[in-house]
Chains A and B, each alone.
Chain A
């Protein structure tokens, strides 16, 4: 760091960090939150939606439109990664010899280890997504776990799985875009059924998995989108290793 930059940086940091500390210290003390907004949401989410996870109800219902934006931030960053890592003139395709080498390296035992891990992780995913409106977790967490099931396999020496996945990338993208479109359509469903965009148009249920109206559907859509989207990003980055520049 040059001396000029260091001087500017230090003055700026002292002012910024000091200012933030000074400002927050003027707020109420830690643990004394008292605003009505959170209390109303916590109090009403069970009567409103029969769903016991007030965070899920806030995320998908009270503030569902924010989550629509959030899902599309993820969606668009995946599109961005695809565009930014597209193959350019002068770059060769995938190096098949590297691929074959990778295939040899993947031993039989690690293959079985990977498969053995995938099963439990899939079950965990389904559980977490399905109980999103009741207990901690939901589509987002489940989606990442699903993605990491594949990642575990890759870490277990079976990185060739990612390449196979790459070949099936249209399928993964299909899942991803279906999730994003599905989430948007839930919003449109409210518009069609009740006349208000993002209104929860499905009966709230009484107890168990089918509570919260459209929240379980939203969790499934988000799960698909997140798992698909992250898989696309991971496999695009992975594919880069097998792309060579022609000199």
Chain B
């Protein structure tokens, strides 16, 4: 059999973002793969050192367009810890509300991308249509569909009144029905199962080897979720299930992500029901006392970790960002070995790549 090398990317309909994959195939089997990152490397970590803490909030929002809010949350959390700032309760609640809405939006977006990549445009259309509801809620709260600019150091800049709470509750109900519908479809649609089951398998050992996090790890039966295991913000006061699945394939990841959406709508309802009164933010000083902090949070794709060091000026001395996609990318080599050429698209989209996150 002759070996053929197929380039996937940097411009490829499969990836919205440029990532170069060189896949060597023998017949219809993949025998080797090579990856080249860096097409969207913008040098955010270095830019951070040249800008003030407040400016950096806007920069962090643009690490990734899909999970923009969770990045600012992690960053602000870290800076607030350095400052020793007590964030008002209402601010924390609203922050968490947006985190959960973003999780719904991100997971539905992912389902659409997966479906599109395996030639199931209908699910793509409907998933993105239902995702619009989550975007609507976020837009009504913050004014932005994808970037929200909600977080400021010391709280959030938005507030909501009773009428808005009522409206959001109604939209959440709607979202719930639609997610249940989607779950029903993917559980019963045979062609969907045929394409996703036993594809992109990751064993729990592999997950541990490559330090994979988030829904990909949970779908391989590794029970880890920072919201429960290292509660930040107000997660210790909320009641939710951590979804795991034993199968470890793309199908399991789909189920895990959709069930997480359901959990997220429940979390949103809890937050709205127990929303405390009071201010949403406190004033933060411009300069941050010298010190170091490690801030972690659970993004839609898994653990985000920020390391921030201050040397007492108004600009950070070092900000390190590690996004959940980077370890997932590493695990791709193993997943791609010996798969069918047609499954490359399913495997690649199955781990929910976000190259903008990984490259920074």
A interacts with B:
no
A residues at B contact (CB < 8 Å)? none
